[in-house]
Amino acid sequence: MNRILLAIVAILVAGAGFAQNLTVTGNLIEESTGQPLFGASIILKGTNNGTTSDFDGNFTLQDVPAGEILVISYIGFTDKEVAVTSAELGTISLQEDVAALDEVIVVGYGTQRKKEITGAVSVVGAETIEKIKPVRVEQALQGQVAGLQVTSGSGAPGSGLNINIRGVSTNGDNRPLILLDGNVIEDLSVVNPGDIESINVLKDATAGIYGVRAANGVILITTKNGRYNSEMRFDFKTFYGVQETTRKIPVLNATEYGLLVNEAFANGGQSPIFNNVNSLGRGTDWQDEVFDTSPIFNADLTISGGGENSRTSFNMSYVDQKGIVGKEKSKFNRFTARLSHDRSFLKNFKFTSSIIFSGTESSGILENAIGSVLYNALNNAPTFTVRDENGNFTLAEGLGNEVINPRAQLENTYNQTRVRKVAGAFGLNYSFLDHWSIESRIQMNYSEVIGWGFAPVAFYGSGKVFNIERSSVTENTNIFRDYTWDTFATYTNSFNDEHNLNVTVGSSVFQTTGRFVSFTGFDIPNNDPLLASIDNAMMVQNNFINGGNTFDARLLSYFARAQYDYKGKYLFSGVIRRDGSTKFGPENKFGYFPSFSLGWVMTDENFMADNGVVDFLKIRGSWGIIGNDRIPDFRFESNLQGEGEYIIDDVLLFGDAIGPISNPEIKWEEQKTFNIGFDAEFLDNRLDLTFDYFNRRTEDLLVVAPVSGILGDAAPGSGPPVVNAGTVENKGFEVSLSYSQKFNNGLDLTVGGNFTALDNEVLFVNTDNAFLPGGSFGVGQDFPSRMEAGFPIGYFYGLQTNGIFQNQDEVNNHALQQGAQPGDIRFVDINGDGVIDADDRTNIGDPIADFLVGFNFNIGWKNFDFQTFAFASIGNDIVRNYERFQPLTNRSVNFLDRWTGPGSTNSDPRVTTSATGNSLFSDYFVEDGSYLRVQNMQLGYNLPEKVFESSNFDSLRLYVSVDNPFTFTEYRGYDPTASSGAPIGAGIDIGFYPTPRIYRLGLNLKF
């Protein structure tokens, strides 16, 4: 009997246990918005039994015993454990994990957790951008990303900045690929920085997923968007600022100038020209005459919100900036408007869209050139007044052919550029079969650039190259169009709760076209700028009469990527991409470019668990090949793009001729990049450390090689061929470090910095003379820069100096230096042939920094906050080329310490009107361009929440800030941060327009 009862009980228990294995269903939503969560992981705890949620957040999991625990996880949200009490679990909400959200990084055609990233990726978030408050996007990257350098070609309003990622890798176009919400964008001036959610920078082979355009790195910009199931939110920001120059170059006043001019004439055997120097006084400070304090204003409004299946964001902004040189003659204003809308519909479809309109208007002055406004302000004589007794501008007589009155130059400067751009991006995603999705995106850009410039009749002095005897007006209309169509499928799955796989395959099509229209009209009625138009001109000339005013370039690409990890601990990513470009001929049109990366999360190993020191440690490495095709179109074949002049029946006719010399053998430039590094966190994740070593070698460099003139490359419209003829290597390491701490007394502290060491070297140049020249110095001198094997790209090539000749014996005992006298610069006889000539030129410096440094400091206490940002460049050189050495031009105050006799100085030469070699390009003009610049200092105050209890406002922050308050440098020019950005010819300063110092007062209001 007892045995029977026991058997019956055992059968009932077994049957009950079997009956409690359930098929569980549920729905996952975001707690704050109610939006369904697609792709969340649902795992039966302690088993391999799991599934993922569908597009609507629904999931079904079979064979789940009652009373067991389900572990639910989703990127950006806190994991949640749910007890199985019935088959219907209903709606389950997940909370956002702010720390995890910060670690979700946008990569090519998808996102990844920071923990899973195997490449070198840096992120600049909205919070950092908000603190810096840049006028241009590039300024937000300055000093914030290790390995990335931003230099300004000019501080003029609206001027672009140069971005280099991990050095100069080619002598051509070094710009990185920039995508705004997936849309290729070339001109960042049309982007509102206040509308940016994050900027991700891909620096190594992982950028290869974007193919040919990613050879110089990729910058992914993500704009702000609305939130599902949220009320409409308003965010308004505005500031007003006053700008001034950060520096004026000390030059001689009129009395000092008169004394030096008299001395120069006397040393040249001529009579002094100023009889009463004491009567000259201080004279005219031409820099004061051209520099101004000027205003800047910015306003930015964002409206966002969303419903159950959609979200919308609208942003518009306006910025108005006047120049610190010429004020109204140098100005920029920009209006932008962006509308984005995402919508989920049916069961598995998601539609995304974004439309951006931007309009800019700008005016500019002649800058960074011989004869520019600042060049003239430095070289014009202080003894001249701005205007003569008749009220006319004074003439800069006797100062050479290039130096003129800068105020008259500004008065006669008339130009305007208007840009209107519309960009649209639309995408459709369809999810199916639990693990599959397919997405197609189309992105389009259309822009019109309308330019107008008037050159009135003007006389600046005898023989001046800027004299204009015939008025003219030029009107340009340039239209640019491009589109990108990406289609890709993605498979995502987890196997046995250990193996995680993500595979993406797709294609990309890109086309860009342009059309240029330009006419110049002559003889404008009454020399009046108000009448300056083509319609009013007496004669009109078509500037593209022989064509050459269109371009059309296309890319066709196929790509595949596999991402795999085992337990989130061992990581792999591999990419293969096939790119085809119309820049190359049929035999070389397509190229294959592979890349892969590996990662190991060491802290997930048992031997690293609970070590008490390291909270997180990941080792990673990558290698890959990326192609580059950034050369002019159709240089592999001969085209009729040149200008021909023909005489037929004694009549001169204009027609077409062969354009640039073709080279059917040109092929892809290839960049082979290697990276190894680690990410680590310490002190309860308060201290972050990232280290990377990189080596980027660019082979088969696409260069424009000089050829014999007998081939006709100097003919109008022609040019030298493009060839594969060089190798450049950039190698170095990067370190990023940050520490954050929240204290119990309401004090928050964040300190961070980054350091980059960079070594650039040209390994090979295959041209007839084994180098490529570039840049310019002075008037009529040889190229000062070179690309040559064994040296950094664009290094300075000139004479090396060894002090000043102190007496005639030193002159006699030195190598033959034509015309040298005591007080002149002594050049080194490099080749030892006893003669100083062009063969003694050597490496005298280079414009590439050895080290880049960034620093940030943020501290908050209760409602107050203070932050400062700084960046530095160490080891780069700058050529001082803003001095025009004519007998009567003004000079730097350094000439007050000139050589005046034996033993007086060994640094600066004598002054004389006689011909000398002192103005030949040498290291006398090369200076250390290292600097430390404090980029921004800001003090803010957030009004207490109780102030808004009876209002609709959520928060109000007031702040004061200063941009570029301090720059520490030994360089004597206006701005050590400026550079032309040219690979061969960078770092030559002809009077850079300085980046202004800006004092701001602003507010941020949310409601």
> Are the C-beta atoms of 297 and 319 separated by less than 8 Å?
yes
Domain check: are 90 and 161 in the same one?
Answer: no
Question: What's the rounded Cα separation, in Å, for the pair 823 and 900?
Answer: 7
- What pLDDT, on the 0 to 100 scale, is given for residue 794? 95
Do 173 and 223 lie in one domain? The reply is yes
| Mean predicted confidence (pLDDT) in 263-287 | 95
Band of residue 17 on the pLDDT scale cut at 50, 70, 90: very low
* Residue 714, pLDDT score: 66
CA-wise closest residue to 103 among 23, 198, 195: 198
**How is residue 835 annotated by DSSP?**
B
| Cα gap 935→303, rounded to integer Å | 30
Give the span between the Cα atoms of 241 and 236, in whole angstroms: 17
Helix, strand or coil, per DSSP, at residue 154: coil
The whole-angstrom separation of Cα 765 and Cα 640 is 30
Q: Which residues have CB under 8 Å from 208's CB, separation 6+? A: 214, 575, 577, 593, 594, 595, 624, 625, 626
Q: Is residue 108 part of a domain?
A: yes
How high is the pLDDT of residue 997? 97
- Using the predicted structure, report yes or no on whether residue 290 has a pLDDT greater than 90: yes
Q: Is the pLDDT of residue 746 over 90?
A: no
Measure the CA–CA gap between 753 and 761, rounded to whole angstroms: 27
| Alpha-carbon span 967 to 971, nearest angstrom | 10
The model's pTM = 0.87
* CATH number of residue 114's parent domain: 2.170.130.10
Domain boundary among 94, 125, 142: 94
* pLDDT of 101 higher than 80: no
562 contact partners, CB below 8 Å, separation of at least 6: 501, 502, 503, 504, 572, 573, 574
Let me know if residue 213 belongs to a domain. Answer: yes
Question: Based on the domain organization, do 115 and 170 belong to the same domain?
Answer: yes
Query: Residue 4: pLDDT band by 50, 70, 90 thresholds?
Result: very low
183 and 163 co-located in one domain: yes
> Are 108 and 74 within one domain?
no
Q: What whole-number distance in Å separates Cα of residue 108 and Cα of residue 124?
A: 17
pLDDT value of position 324:
97
Residue 180 lies in a domain: yes
Query: Which residues fall within 8 angstroms of residue 648, CB to CB, at 6 or more apart?
Result: none
Residue 59 located in a structural domain:
yes
Closest by CA position to 212, among listed 180, 177, 160: 177
pLDDT level of residue 455 (50, 70, 90 thresholds): very high
pLDDT value of position 975: 94
Rounded mean pLDDT of the chain? 90
Write the DSSP string, 578-603. Answer: EEEETTS-TTTSEEEEEEEEEEEEGG
Q: Extract the tokens encoding 258.
A: 């008169």
Beta partners for 515? 479, 550
Q: What is the pLDDT of residue 98?
A: 47
pLDDT at site 100: 41
Choose the final residue of a domain: 623, 642, 665. Answer: 665
Q: pLDDT tens-digit profile of 878-892? A: 999 999 999 999 999
Task: Report the pLDDT averaged over residues 446-457.
Answer: 96
Cα distance between residue 512 and residue 507, in whole Å? 17
Dist CA 657 CA 717 (whole Å): 8
The answer to whether 512 and 443 have CB atoms below 8 angstroms apart is: no
| pLDDT of residue 413 exceeding 60 | yes
DSSP code, position 604: G
Name residue, tokens 């130096």: 403
What is the distance between the alpha carbons of residues 872 and 143, in angstroms, rounded to a whole number? 8
Q: With bands split at pLDDT 50, 70 and 90, how would you rate the model's confidence at 732?
A: very high
Give the residue among 710, 645, 700 at the shortest CA–CA distance from 668: 700
The pair of structure tokens assigned to 53 is: 């949620």
* Claim to verify: residue 66 and residue 143 sit in the same structural domain: no
Give the pLDDT confidence score for residue 20 in this predicted structure: 58
Q: What is the pLDDT of residue 651?
A: 78
Alpha-carbon span 190 to 8, nearest angstrom: 80
User: 513 φ, ψ to 5°?
Assistant: -135, 160
**Could you give the CA distance from residue 100 to residue 440 in angstroms, rounded to a whole number?**
28
Q: Which value, to the nearest 10 degrees, does the dihedral of the CA atoms of residues 12, 17, 23, 27 take?
A: 120
pLDDT at residue 865 in the model: 93
- What distance in Å separates the CA atoms of residue 365 and residue 385, rounded to the nearest whole number? 22
**Percentage helix, strand, coil for the chain under 3-state DSSP, each rounded to 5:** 15, 50, 40
Residues with Cβ within 8 Å of residue 886, at least 6 apart in sequence:
379, 398, 399, 400, 403
At 20-47, the pLDDT tens digits run 588 889 888 877 666 678 777 788 887 7
How far, in Å, CA of 464 to CA of 20, rounded?
98
> How confident is the model over 690-695, as a mean pLDDT?
97
Q: Note whether 700 and 663 are within 8 A (CB).
A: no
pLDDT tens by residue, 66-76: 888 888 877 66
Q: How many domains does one find in the chain?
A: 4
CA distance 257 to 891: 8
**165 located within any domain:** yes
Q: Examine the domain organization and report whether 131 and 54 are in the same domain.
A: no
How buried is residue 46: exposed, middle or buried, by Cβ count under 10 Å (0-12/13-18/19+)?
exposed
Q: Is 112 left (phi over 0), alpha (psi -120 to 50) or beta?
A: beta
Q: Residue 25 falls within a domain, yes or no?
A: yes
More confident residue, 7 or 81: 81
Q: Do the domain assignments include residue 90?
A: yes
Residues 142 and 196 both lie in one domain: yes
223 and 122 together in one domain:
yes
Q: Give residue 806's domain range.
A: 800-835
With a cut of 50, say whether residue 556 has pLDDT above it: yes
26 lies in the same domain as 127: no
Cα pseudo-dihedral 37, 1006, 334, 244, rounded to 10: -130
- In a shared domain, residues 154 and 58: no
**pLDDT at site 76:** 60
> What does residue 410 show for φ and ψ, rounded to 5 degrees?
-65, -40
Residue 460 binned pLDDT confidence (cut-offs 50, 70, 90): very high
Lowest mean pLDDT among 129-138, 254-263, 901-910: 129-138
Residue 611 lies in a domain: no
pLDDT above 70 coverage of the chain, percent:
95
Which pLDDT band, with edges at 50, 70 and 90, does 7 fall under? very low
Task: Give the number of other CB atoms < 10 A from CB of residue 278.
Answer: 9
Nearest to 538 by CA among 472, 475, 474: 472
With H, G, I as helix, E, B as strand and everything else as coil, classify residue 535: helix
Contact residues for 597 (Cβ-Cβ < 8 A; gap 6+)? 118, 119, 204, 205, 206, 571, 572, 573, 574, 620, 621, 622, 623, 624
Q: What is the pLDDT of residues 305-352, one digit of tens each?
A: 998 889 999 999 999 999 999 888 999 999 999 999 999 998 899 999
Q: What is the pLDDT of residue 980?
A: 84
Angstrom CA distances, 404 to 104, 264, 372, stand at 57, 22, 9
Q: What is the pLDDT of residues 576-618, one digit of tens each?
A: 999 999 999 999 999 999 999 999 999 999 998 888 899 999 9
Give the list of residues 6+ apart from residue 926 with CB closer than 8 angstroms, or none.
Answer: 796, 798, 844, 845, 877, 878, 879, 880
Q: Single out the residue of 169, 176, 206, 203 nearest to residue 669, CA to CA.
A: 169
Question: Given a cut of 70, is residue 710 above it in pLDDT?
Answer: no
Q: Residue 455: name the closest of 463, 465, 445 by CA.
A: 465
Quick one: which of 217, 202, 223, 218 has its CA closest to 129? 223
Backbone angles phi, psi at 528, to 5 degrees: -100, 120
Please check whether residues 223 and 143 belong to one and the same domain: yes
Q: Residue 33: what pLDDT? A: 62
Residue 80, domain CATH: 2.60.40.1120
Query: Could you read off the pLDDT of 229-260 as tens digits, one per residue?
Result: 888 999 999 999 999 999 999 999 999 999 99
Among candidate residues 94, 118, 136, the one where a domain is terminated: 94
Paired strand residues for 738: 688, 752
